[in-house]
Amino acid sequence: MMRIYSILRLRSSLNTPVLHFSILVCRNVIEMGSDTSTLQCTTADIKVLTSTNSSRFMYADVQKVMTSYVLPCILLVGLLGNSAFLFVVARVRSMRTVTNFYLANLAVADMVFLTIVIIGRVYTLAVYGVPNDVLGVAGCVADNLFVYIFHFAGLFLITFMSLERYIAVCHPLRHRLISGRGCTAKLVLACWLTSTALAAVLIPTSVRFIQYCVRWPLEDSVLYQNFPEVIGQCLGLDEPWVNPLLHLTQTIPFFMALFGNSYFYARIVFKLNKRNSSSDRQRVIRTRNHVALMLVANGSVFFLTLTAFQVTSMILFVENFLEVEIIPYDIRYNLFEANRVLLYANSAVNPIVYTVTNARYRQAFRRAFRPARWGKRRGENSTIFSTFPDYYSQYHINSGGLAPIPRPKSPPKSPMVARPATYSNACFDPIETVTPKPDENEEDWDEQLPQGQQNLKCE
């Protein structure tokens, strides 16, 4: 029988309080490539489980509450938030930037991840009332593979996005050479391929499908009358190296990404503090403070939602290696469930975090969801002035690649009089008129940082 490592997996839910009843059970173990035909139980195979063994066939009370109420709310928020972000990127041209290309892929990864892990749990509880895998070996492998692909993809996309912003701020000339559509597409493709490779490494943790013939107690017919007579369970290979493989593959990429992002953000903040601009010192200070707030908020969400799960996974690896008990068994089930909920919540709150902490995204959301007729009348009767340098909105992602956005013609300028910019920025309402300066510093673009750290999502 596999050790306790399988409990930590996101959709592992065979952790319940001890129930004092007897179950008649026969076991049918199916490994990859084996026949998955209907389970045939004989009298010789049936044995009576103890109350301790039978407890793993039931949902714990905390799991029922989380699956019935908390997880559906997380799924709803995640689907609505990420879908809204994709809609904004598609509708507002100035939002089609390199950074948002990463965030759009992250939104897709988060949506699919939440759909797989939460809908599966809600469906199983509603239909069967007990943990029950019914898709056989192929379903076990596919479910585990896809969950980890989208989990790792979110982790790598966040890291690559942080790297891109680090290069933009600290090495602006180099950033102009690598910020093209082709390079960005290759980096995103590398994220997905690396995620798929790491997820494939974890296939041995889900290649066994075990079925049990169960005879539920008769004394409480109301409780057990709708429970299935055959229960399936996905497990890994019964080998000593499977447990370390699971925990190390989960935790090593996470901590590498964590340290990498910490370095990138520290360098970004240091660079912004070091810069000076005699022409517009106040704007530099506002930008610096805004970026610092955004990084602190996103970093806090990242730590709160992902670190607990990964630290617990590492502790279990140490337990297995040293053969000692570090996490008491009477609290580990509730701890694991709380860690999973935080992990799921991370994929749901990403759009909220970088929208709340960034005024540009808030204004883009308002513009995207503004009624078309009202927006048209407003555009006809008002002049929209850019609040950023003119090269801020010169590039967008389209079918032909990163192409410059044509500038509207402006009236002739007197050499002695500075006129306000007449081009429009689709992300901004007409808040103020800004007089562009002839010696505008091109590094201002690099000071507009993304929403950074959101992340991650495993199984």
With residues binned 3-state (H G I as helix, E B as strand, rest as coil), the percentages for the chain, rounded to 5, are 60, 5, 30
Which residues fall within 8 angstroms of residue 343, CB to CB, at 6 or more apart? 10, 305, 306, 309, 456, 457, 458
SS3 label, residue 321:
helix
Q: How many CB atoms within 10 Å of residue 287?
A: 18
Helix (H) or strand (E) holding 258: helix 242-274
Alpha-helical regions (H) of 303-417: 308-322, 329-356, 359-368, 372-380
> Is the separation of the CB atoms in 161 and 101 below 8 Å?
no
Buried b (16+ CB within 10 A) or exposed e, 307-320: ebbbebbbbbbebb
Q: How many CB atoms within 10 Å of residue 421?
A: 20
Token pair, residue 184, equals 């960005």
Q: Angle at which helices 98-127 and 329-356 pack, to 10 degrees?
A: 140
Place of tokens 């055959």: 230
The pTM for the full model equals 0.71
pLDDT in tens for each of the 459 residues of the chain? 343 333 344 444 333 333 334 444 444 555 554 444 455 655 544 544 444 555 667 888 888 899 999 999 999 999 999 999 999 999 988 888 888 898 899 999 999 999 999 999 999 999 988 888 888 999 999 999 999 999 999 999 988 888 888 888 888 888 777 777 888 899 999 999 999 999 999 999 999 998 888 777 766 666 777 788 788 889 999 899 998 999 999 999 999 999 988 898 888 888 877 765 545 566 665 665 666 566 667 777 877 788 889 999 999 999 888 888 888 888 888 898 899 999 999 999 988 887 888 788 888 888 888 876 544 444 443 333 333 333 333 223 233 333 344 455 555 554 444 444 443 333 333 334 344 444 433 333 333 333 333 333 345
SS3 label, residue 24:
strand
Token pair, residue 159, equals 């890291």
Closest CA to 189 of 168, 181, 100: 181
Domains by residue range for the chain, with CATH: 4-362 (1.20.1070.10)
Closest CA to 375 of 361, 363, 358, 387: 363
> Is the separation of the CB atoms in 394 and 406 below 8 Å?
no
